[in-house]
A and B are shown apart, each in its own frame.
Chain A
Amino acid sequence: MEKVSLRDAYGDTLVELGKEDERIVVLDADLSGSTKTAKFAKVFPERFFNMGIAEINMMNVAAGLAVSGKIPFVSTFAIFGTGRAWEAVRQTICYPNLNVKVVCSHGGITVGEDGASHQALEDVSLMRSLPNMRVIVPADDIETRQVIRKVAYTEGPFYVRLSREKFPRIFDETYRFEVGKGHVLREGEDVTVISNGVMTHFALLAAEILEKEGISVEVIHMSTVKPVDVELVVDSALKTGAVVTAEEHSIIGGLGSAVAEVLVENCPVPLERLGTPDVFGLSGKGWDLLHYFGLDENGIIAKVKKVLERKK
């Protein structure tokens, strides 16, 4: 399985956008090599602003650029963009509903060796709670390119979560990303697995294994966590009668919570959520940490079996 870099896809797409549209400007906080905004900085030095290690100010400056007609992309590690700078994003970007795109790398546990201080397990939750903000967690490079293009030309604030680790490729060039739409990767009858980010790779693996055991799994890739695709969640839940969510994020406030809200209000069916439990991360190799927390095909299979028990 080919592993691909989401952040490289981001940097490359920024360069394309920069060529197309003079309004595109990019801000970073001393991590341009890691977030890959350095690619844009190299081609468009006058439209790139390194704000230093000062994330709160960076968000406010981006708001000022947006209100002046620019389209700012703002990047740093996910925990600093969404955590450190949260209230600036709230006050100066989301409240006035400004056209700022917060695109952060190093989301999730796969940050790896840097450990808890750098592992954003709450970023989706933090951004999802902000009015006007839309939240997207792509799975691979092909989707990332489309997401970045789409958010560039869709008015208003967005948060896009990217990773440090390379992820297995899921899509081919025929895929079409739409804001607010989930994507059925595999149809099934017995249970629905809804996932995003790297977990979609594991959801597909789990579905294959379960099929051999006679369990038919519907796999929905839900990159847009907000606004979540209510119609698709409800339709699939009504069909299968049981749902499992899987995300590289705390089980509090992310995709699992978004799906739970939809199910409870529309069609209560048994739901099991897979994510990191209510604890901080720790140092280790990124991929090892996924398995450590059971964020893999085995973790999903266990949740599927549990939810099928409850469905009986």
Chain B
Amino acid sequence: MIRFEPSFFLERNREIDDVTLRAIAREVRKDILKMTSAVNSGHPGGSMSAADILVTLYYYKMRHNPENPKWEKRDRFVLSKGHSSPALYSVLARTGYFPIEKLKEFRVLEGDLQGHPSMLTTPGVEISTGSLGHGIGAAVGMALALKLDRSDSRVYCMIGDGEAQEGSVWESAMAASHYNLDNLCVILDNNNLQIDGPVDEVMSIYPTVEKWKAFGWHVIEINGHDFKEIKNALDEADTVKYKPTMIVARTVKGKGVSFMENRAEWHGKALPPDLLKEALKELGELS
């Protein structure tokens, strides 16, 4: 298992190569599938599409302290698409916020890992989410507070492309650029799938780049599964002045398991035991 001392995470832009990031992301994907299958519930698809970005944020980019989740100087991450909680919980466990064993409490009665992130029960969760379209607004509030406090901490937030249909997302977009929140970086997990089908068929959000630009954001388009591109985009966001940054990450729902990729049916359905075995094998699990 790839493990770092908590002190490793205290400075941004860490030395960590793409091979290592990829290996960690593979472990995270296995966690996602095991966690959801264990309780036969939860959302594997969007967790898999978000995994590489979350791993890059927590292992390469963000300044944070797994031993002291409320460390004042930390960068914040808000999972606005809260249903991808398995990806977040796995990354929090693997970076040291709580023992890996705790992943067994996911969605279990009286467990600390609620179906959707709950800040009162899970260390490292900055705000409770689950109802789509709200987290990004809270991220704007955090970015405003950091400005007021003259802090150089940054706020990261991930939204879904289906989530981007919520009007509140655009209210947040407007506010973030109005207040020149250059300490805010939002990542759009653009897997082009939601529950009822492809985003462009259910309710198109396109053209995304032009929309966010028109709302006053600095927009970067990347492949959300290419660690080099993720790192570069996150670094570029650091340099932008007076504007929030939107990273439009083209991703694949179910990424990493061939029979799950680009299939809406695995949005909110866990793999049955036989398919779980097959999937874990694809992800390189021995035995």
Chains A and B come from one and the same complex: yes
Q: Does A84 contact B (CB under 8 A)?
A: yes
Within 8 A of A (CB), among B157-197: 162-163, 165-167, 194-196
Q: Does B115 contact A (CB under 8 A)?
A: yes
Within 8 A of B (CB), among A265-292: 282-285, 288-289, 292
In the complex the two chains form, what is the Cα distance from A284 to B165 in whole Å?
29
Q: Does A91 contact B (CB under 8 A)?
A: no
Within 8 A of B (CB), among A28-59: 28, 30-34, 38, 50-54, 56-57
Q: Kindly supply a per-residue 1/0 record for chain B positions 100-131, scoring 1 wherever the CB is within 8 Å of any chain A CB and 0 otherwise.
A: 00000001111100111010000000001111
> B163 CB to closest chain A CB, in angstroms?
6
Tell which of A114-122, A142-150, A193-201, A255-263 binds the partner: A114-122
In the complex the two chains form, what is the Cα distance from A184 to B282 in whole Å?
58
A contact patch SS? helix
Q: Check B115 against A57 for contact (C-beta < 8 Å).
A: no
Q: Check A50 against B128 for contact (C-beta < 8 Å).
A: no
Q: Does B223 contact A (CB under 8 A)?
A: no
Q: How large is the interface on A (under 10, 10 to 19, 20 to 34, 35 or more residues)?
A: 20 to 34
Within 8 A of A (CB), among B183-231: 194-196, 202-203
Q: Does B39 contact A (CB under 8 A)?
A: yes
B contact patch SS? loop
**A115-B114, A118-B115, A284-B109 known; A54-B165 Cβ under 8 A:** yes
**A30-B196, A33-B195 known; A283-B115 Cβ under 8 A:** yes
Q: Does B79 contact A (CB under 8 A)?
A: no
Residues of A within 8 A of B115 (CB): 113-115, 117-118, 283
Q: Check A282 against B165 for contact (C-beta < 8 Å).
A: no
Q: Check A33 against B196 for contact (C-beta < 8 Å).
A: yes
For the complex with contacts A30-B203, A79-B131, 20 further pairs of A-B residues with Cβ separation under 8 Å are: A30-B162, A30-B194, A30-B195, A34-B195, A38-B196, A51-B203, A53-B133, A53-B163, A53-B165, A53-B166, A53-B203, A116-B114, A116-B116, A116-B130, A117-B129, A118-B130, A282-B114, A283-B108, A283-B114, A289-B109
Taking Cβ atoms with an 8 Å cutoff, the residues of B that contact A are 39, 41-42, 82, 107-111, 114-116, 118, 128-133, 162-163, 165-167, 194-196, 202-203
CB-CB nearest 9 A-B residue pairs: A52-B203, A117-B130, A284-B109, A115-B115, A52-B165, A113-B41, A113-B107, A114-B115, A115-B114
30 contacts between A and B (CB under 8 A): A30-B165, A30-B194, A32-B196, A38-B196, A50-B202, A50-B203, A53-B132, A53-B163, A53-B194, A54-B166, A56-B167, A79-B131, A80-B131, A112-B41, A113-B41, A115-B107, A115-B116, A116-B116, A117-B82, A117-B116, A117-B130, A117-B131, A118-B130, A282-B110, A282-B114, A283-B108, A283-B111, A283-B115, A284-B107, A288-B109
